[in-house]
Amino acid sequence: MAHHDLQAVSQQCGDCPIRHRAVCSRCEADELARLEQIKYYRSYEAGQTVIWSGDRMDFVASVVTGIATLTQTMEDGRRQMVGLLLPSDFVGRPGRATAAYDVTATTDLVMCCFRKKPFEEMMQTTPHVAQRLLEMTLDELDAAREWMLLLGRKTAREKIASLLAIIARRDAALKPKSAKGGIVFDLPLTREEMADYLGLTLETVSRQISALKRDGVITLEGKRHVIVPDFDRLMEQTGDDSDGGYLN
């Protein structure tokens, strides 16, 4: 595989791409200076495992670029994704020695890691890190509960539509606002990963994507590139309230 320039990320918190959203977003200059001292970057290639559930974990981290997943696995191999980690999301739990879930890089990934011991000390002494972490954890809890509704009560078609809507919405928020012609994005997950996320099999995922395509709700270019001509039309397929009240 070609040479990866993953380390080409600023080592300076000041111009870090996730500076304003991550666990450090509330920090003052002096707090940032302390964080700089205990941080280091790590890169992973797409497909690599970051940590296995049960492994000792001597750091916590923020995703800087790329996408990672949290998954749980049963003995017989059944897998359920329980978190999708995007840039600025936090990994690890202060006060816990071992990882509770498998963490895997689904794309090339850069993480900003903090040594656990000093990070925990900072949590005690400076309020801004802990405050932000609480806020982020509450957001994650809301997302998890939204996901519980999806897993417990939605049909396969609704699950797929919901996932597409979430990815589309996130992409739309980042991009400068593409043409009205429709929302366009790339799926960051394989069919199997989508299945693990949605509590389905990969065959069902494939079938339902084909069905949405057949019904004109989406268009595909290749396997991963999705065009949503009418976002409201997609939302109708999710089973959610029309106003899509994801954020308060």
The CB-of-44 to DNA minimum distance in angstroms stands at 15
Give whichever of 113 and 150 is closer to DNA, judged by the CB atom: 150
- Mark 189-218 with x for binding to DNA (rule: CB under 7 A) and - for no binding: -xxx------xxxxxxxxx-xx--------
Distance CA 9, CA 63 (A): 12
Burial of 210 (0-12, 13-18, 19+ CB in 10 A): exposed
Residue with tokens 């790590």: 42
Reduced DSSP (H G I as helix, E B as strand, rest coil) percent helix, strand, coil of the chain, to 5: 40, 20, 40
Q: Are 197 and 189 in contact (CB under 8 A)?
A: yes
The answer to whether residues 112 and 61 touch, using CB atoms and an 8 Å cutoff, is yes
Judged by CB, which is closer to DNA: 25, or 190? Answer: 190
Q: Which residue has the tokens 């977003």?
A: 25
Among 246, 153, 194, 208, residue whose Cα is nearest residue 69: 194
Task: Please report how close the Cβ of residue 155 comes to DNA at its closest, in angstroms.
Answer: 3
Binding mask 217-236 for a copy of itself (x = CB under 8 A): --------------------
**Near DNA by CB under 7 A: residue from 223, 236, 244, 246:** 223
Binding-site partner at residue 227 among DNA, a copy of itself, none, CB < 5 to 8 Å by type: none
Separation of alpha carbons 111 and 162, rounded Å: 28
* Residue 70 binding target from a copy of itself, DNA, none, CB below 5 to 8 Å by type: a copy of itself
- Number of residues interacting with DNA: please give it, by CB under 7 A: 23
Binding site for a copy of itself (CB under 8 A): 70, 72, 74-76, 78-80, 82-83, 93, 95-98, 100-101, 123-124, 127, 130-131, 133-135, 137-138, 140-142, 144-149, 151-153, 198-199, 239-241, 248
